[in-house]
Structure 1
Amino acid sequence: MARPRSFDRDHVLHAAERQFRTAGYNGTSVDDISAATGMGRGSLYATFDGKHGVLHQAMSVYFTRLAQGAPKALAGPDESAMERLHAYLLRAVHGVPLAADVPPAPDRAAAACFAAKMAMEVGASDSEVKRLANDCFSVLMTAVADCVRAAQRNGDLDPDADPDDLAYLLLTIVRGTDVVGAYGHSPARLTSIAESAFALLPRPRHR
């Protein structure tokens, strides 16, 4: 009979994600993952095929979390679409997780999008990381663009504006604040960037 697993997979992968966020992929060793997760080296290799496998599975869990959290955070009636966009933008630039069961990161640098961070570091040489990062971005793009369309239907945004273009603009602002936040700029500065970006969204011309 196979021996039952004596670990919580989600707990292990969340702990590994925090380690990768903090130190990066190249700055993290198998021993670091072992210390962060409480799993021995042998168990890590047997269960996840080492550091590389841990990263792929951690990103897969992150994608699942994002796919559930992003649409939920941005969906709702057309009348409150602008409020949801505003709230999402403020949360995102400060690295506040979309999922309620995920604690905030200890600092802004560690709060940057996990998928984007790994794609920047190893995506060029790891096709699976690149694919997972693209999937994460697509989930966010769809959720934000759908919320933009809701705001257009309610007359709060210019109906002639391309919703996908506006979604790309907002997500580019968010990813840019990942960099600004990593440089240590204040939360007030990040809030100012988010508010400026929100104010620049095209309103209906008659208003």
Structure 2
Amino acid sequence: MARPRSFDRDHVLHAAERQFRTSGFNGTSVDDISAATGLGRGSLYAAFDGKHGVLLQAMAGYSARLGSAMEALAGPDQGALERLHRFLLHAVDGVPLADDVPPAPDRATAACFAAKMALELGASDPEVERLANDCFSVVATAVAACVRAAQRNGDIDPDADPDNLAYLLLTIVRGIDVVGACGHSPARLTSIVESALALLPRPHHR
């Protein structure tokens, strides 16, 4: 059997991710991936076991990049609330949290890759569902740690459940993706962010 030619794996997975973002999984063919990545069909099958294998590895890479991006939420207790604020405002710009992917042509394409694949394939594909949940967990874990820092600093009610608040904020961010993709203005999206921040439970003495 001929050996597949050498290639830059990260480049291929990034290019495939952009294709899946643009056309969805079902709307993307192996030929589309081959054209986007410059890798022949035979090499794609040999290296990734076909289109589904490319998707799974692209999602795994996206999850790893999310972990790096979420490091921006780490830091001292003082300033944790402001870091949460910036996390929410990041969604207003309509760019992926893992922002080493080149800019997309529109908000719908730029939205969370894991959420997009989860919405398209959902529970019908357990491997995609697991990887999407891994991505959500990466973000929620980092946000919850930042919430705990804000609690220690006296900015958020210490009795509030940080994990519940983290998933609340993650849901708001993903909702902003959807509302923004429907054409609502940055001013409206920013208003959503400010309202969400104001709803975070504050210590009773304040």
For structure 2, list consecutive stretches of 5 or more residues without a partner in the other structure: none
Does structure 1 conserve the Cα–Cα contact (< 8 Å) formed by 2:4 and 2:42? no
Identity %: 82
- Counterpart of 2:58 in structure 1 is 58
Report the Cα distance in structure 2 between the residues aligned to 1:84 and 1:103, rounded to whole angstroms.
24
- Whichever residue aligns with residue 136 of structure 1, its letter is C
Deviation at 1:4, TM superposition (A): 7.1
Does structure 2 conserve the Cα–Cα contact (< 8 Å) formed by 1:95 and 1:104? no
Report the Cα distance in structure 2 between the residues aligned to 1:140 and 1:148, rounded to whole angstroms.
12
Does structure 2 conserve the Cα–Cα contact (< 8 Å) formed by 1:94 and 1:190? no
- Whichever residue aligns with residue 191 of structure 1, its letter is T
- Whichever residue aligns with residue 150 of structure 1, its letter is A
- Counterpart of 1:44 in structure 2 is 44
- Counterpart of 1:19 in structure 2 is 19
State yes or no: 1:159 paired with 2:148. no
- Counterpart of 1:34 in structure 2 is 34
- Counterpart of 1:121 in structure 2 is 120
State yes or no: 1:175 paired with 2:168. no
Report the Cα distance in structure 2 between the residues aligned to 1:161 and 1:180, rounded to whole angstroms.
28
- Whichever residue aligns with residue 172 of structure 1, its letter is T
- Counterpart of 2:103 in structure 1 is 104
- Counterpart of 1:95 in structure 2 is 94
- Counterpart of 1:202 in structure 2 is 201
3-state SS in 1 of match to 2:79: helix
Deviation at 1:84, TM superposition (A): 0.5
Report the Cα distance in structure 2 between the residues aligned to 1:93 and 1:164, rounded to whole angstroms.
23
- Whichever residue aligns with residue 17 of structure 2, its letter is E
3-state SS in 2 of match to 1:102: coil
Does structure 2 conserve the Cα–Cα contact (< 8 Å) formed by 1:149 and 1:163? yes
Alignment RMSD, CA only? 1.8
- How many residue pairs are counted as aligned between the two chains? 206
- The two structures have a TM-score, normalised by structure 1, of 0.92
For structure 1, list consecutive stretches of 5 or more residues without a partner in the other structure: none
Q: Which moved more, 1:165-174 or 1:183-192?
A: 183-192
Q: Deviations over 1:61-102 (max 9, x none)?
A: 1111112221x1110000010111000111134333344533
Q: Deviations over 1:151-191 (max 9, x none)?
A: 01001111121111111111111111122122122222222
Report the Cα distance in structure 2 between the residues aligned to 1:193 and 1:104, rounded to whole angstroms.
23
